[in-house]
Every structure is written in structure tokens, then in C-alpha cells.
Amino acid sequence: MDTLTTVNNLGGLYIDLGRLQEAERMHERALAGREKALGSDHMDALTTVNNLGALYRNLGQLQEAERMYERALAGYEKALGPDHMHTLTTVNNLGALYRNLGQLQEAERMYKRALAGYEKAFGPDHMNTLMAVNNLGGLYSDLGQLQEAERMYERALAGREKALGPDHIHTLTTVNDLGGLYIDLGQLQEAERMYKRALAGYEKALGPDHMHTLMTVNNLGLLYRNLGQLQEAQRMYERALAGYEKALGPDHMDTLTTVNNLGLLYSNLGQLQEAQRMYERALAGTEKALGPDHMDTLTTVNNLGLLYSNFWQLQEAERMYERALAGTEKALGPDHMNTLTTVNNLGLLYINLGQLQEAERMYERALAGYEKALGPDHMHTLTTVNNLGLLYSTLGQLQEAERMYERALAGREKALG
């Protein structure tokens, strides 16, 4: 059993190093050994099952991850009961997975169950409770329930500041999350304040090259890009990239995510050849590490489609978008946010190709999906409403265009003032 413990630990190390295929090999070896020696429902076996769930989630094998987590949950509930910590941890993990799958109502059910269990066992201010509160904040942000998300994050922040102090890593995680929420709320100066606080705290506690520090540097790059401060954004992204390459190597997923972000920035700067170089590097790296159908791979495929549209290479753009759409539909379903983003992009491409009926079909599909998942007043919904207004105007359907524009305006005034 000592051998299998070491094998399992090696699996965890390989995950930290970004060597996910080797991690899978170790965890599967540990699981097979523990099942043979101890039985499939032994705690050590279930721990490895749970670890495999996390690994498959990182690999983008979300259906396989779901199978592992559900097996672990059933085992823990049977052996330990519905409110044991191992059970609740797996419930929380399932919530995160359902969030990745775009099954946001199911994710909410899991997160609320975890929160109720933690509150019952530990009280409202325990670290596990506050973690669940913070997770719900992220979910409500995804759902476009931004005021509810803010309420969750502020509760988590107040609890963590009180228990751990203003500069603890868990506190700074919530500060960083609030920065992202304020971007969604359009409160960009407040977002900058949060990110700078998180960055200063991480640099002090962990140093300038730690992963948490570099994550926040990357987030500041995104913020500065949204603010139109493109030179400052470039400085942040290049710092993050240098740090990731030094710490993790050129092919780690955190490195490649920053390469992809630089591609977006260079596109904004009009440096399209440089943007293409970044995207192609990110695509080659993600295909090698995760395969052609992983979500990170497909995100870069989608970005290349956008870039080719900017180059007016419309047939190549269509090829990229159709690949991204087929992959996201297969992995996440037809109504997931990632799928709908590509559907929306195809709508614009078909306008540029003069295929206006096809564009209308894409926009109407995107609108129906956003309304179902996020509600009629979410920003993604309203952006698509506005796009339909533009299309109807082009088609000469002026009354329909007016209806769309007025709906988009009313929704944005309500949400943003």
C-alpha cells in the first residue's frame, strides 16, 4: 500500500507540473491497485476516484469526470452519510464540474447543498462555509445574477478578512474574484482597485513569480485591455508570460493561456501577424497537451476564426468557427455558453459573406440559448438582440430592427444605467 500511496502522490505532482497524461497513468495505476487490494468502496479507492475526477476535468474529459465524481459521491454517501466532509467535498466538486458543463441550475443545487452542509457542521463563518459562499458567487456571476454574486463575494470577503486577515491567500482570492465581478458590472475602476490589492498581497506573501501573483498580473492585463490601456495590458501579459515560461515551461497550460491572451491583445493593437503567431503557438500547444477537442484548444480555434475574419479570410474563418462549433456541441451540448459564443460569431461571419438568412438563423439560435440559460436581460442576451437589430436593418425589416434596438436599449439602461 505504501507503493500505491507514492504512485497516487506522483499523480498529484504531475498535475501540478502540468503533465496531465502522466498524472492520468499514475492515478489509474493507484486506483487499480487499491481496488484489487481494498475493494472498490474503500476510502483510499474513493480518494483516487475523486482525484481522477479532478484530473479528467482538467483534461476536458467532462463526461468521464462526472462519472468519477458520481461514483465517489455514491461511495461516500453509503459509507459516511450525506453530511460527512468527504461527501460534501465531492458535492462541491460536482458543482464545479456542472458549472464547466454549463449545467448551471444543477451546479447551483450542488453548491447550495455543500453550503448547507458546511453551515450545519461548522457554522456560517468556517473556512469551508466561506469557500462554498465564494463558489456560489462565481456561479451567480455566470448566471448573470450580478447583485447576488456581489452579495456572496462580499460575505466571503468579510468572513475571510475577519478570520484570516486582509492579506491571507484565501482573502486575496475573493478580492481577485470581486475584481472579475466588477468588470462584469462595468465598474472598471473598482475592478482595478481589487486587482491591485490582490497583486500587492500576493507579491508580499508569495513573491513576484508565484502562480497566484502571475494569475492576477494576467487579470490586470485583461482589465487594461477592457479599459483601452493597451500598452499597459501588453506589459502585464508579457510579465505573466515570462513568469509562466520560467516557472512552468513554454508548453504548460497557464503559459499557453497567456499566449492566447497576448494574441487577443495584438489583434486589438492591429498587429495581426503577431496575433496570428500567438494563436498558432497556443493552438499547437493545447492540441499537443490536451487534444484537438479540448475546450482550451477550441477557444483558440475560435479566436483564430475571429482573426481570419479581421484579415477578411472569410472561408478560413468559417472553417475555424465550424470546427469550434462542432467541438463545443459534442463536448458541452448545443446550449452551452461556449457553443453559443461560436454560434454568435458565425452569425457575424455569414453577414460578411452575404448569407443573411443563415446569419439570422445563427443569431436567433444564440438568442434563444442565452434567454434560456441567462434570462432576457443578461448582457450576452442583449448583445445578440442588438446584433439582430443590425441584421434586420440590413434586410430592410425596419420595424423588427426598431423592436430589437429598443429592447437592447431598455435592458442596458436597466442593468448599467
Torsions phi, psi for 18 (to 5 deg):
80, 10
C-alpha neighbours within 13 Å on the C-beta side of residue 85: 6
Do residues 312 and 348 lie in contact, with contact meaning Cβ atoms separated by under 8 Å?
no
Instruction: Give me 104's grid cell.
Output: 448551471
Residues whose CB is less than 8 angstroms from the CB of residue 323 and which lie 6 or more positions away in sequence, other chains included: 298, 301
Amino acid at 30: A
In the three-class reduction of DSSP (H, G, I as helix; E, B as strand; rest coil), residue 252 is classed as coil
DSSP string, 274-304: HHHHHHHHHHHHHHHHH-TTSHHHHHHHHHH
Q: What's the pLDDT tens digit per position in 10-54?
A: 666 666 666 767 777 666 676 666 666 666 677 677 787 878 888
Quote the CA–CA distance of 408 and 13 in Å, as a whole number.
49
Domains of the chain: 1-80 (1.25.40.10), 249-312 (1.25.40), 334-417 (1.25.40.10)
- Is residue 343 exposed (0-12), middle (13-18) or buried (19+ Cβ within 10 Å)? buried
Do residues 120 and 81 lie in contact, with contact meaning Cβ atoms separated by under 8 Å?
no
Cβ count within 10 A of residue 195: 27
pTM above 0.85, yes or no: no
Positions in the chain whose pLDDT score sits under 70: 1-4, 7-18, 20, 25-28, 30-40, 43, 417
Residues whose CB is less than 8 angstroms from the CB of residue 305 and which lie 6 or more positions away in sequence, other chains included: 317, 318, 319, 320, 321, 324, 342, 345, 349
| Kind and range of the H or E run holding 343 | helix 337-352
Quote the CA–CA distance of 376 and 358 in Å, as a whole number.
23
Maximum Cα–Cα distance for the chain, whole Å?
73
Quote the CA–CA distance of 260 and 258 in Å, as a whole number.
5
pLDDT at 40 (0 to 100): 64
The Cα-based distances of 395 to 129, 200, 238, 269, 368 in angstroms read 53, 52, 44, 32, 20
Alpha helices in 101-186 (DSSP H): 104-122, 127-142, 146-164, 169-184
Do residues 98 and 333 lie in contact, with contact meaning Cβ atoms separated by under 8 Å?
no
The Cα-based distances of 408 to 6, 136, 149, 268, 339 in angstroms read 57, 28, 23, 25, 22
| Kind and range of the H or E run holding 212 | helix 211-226
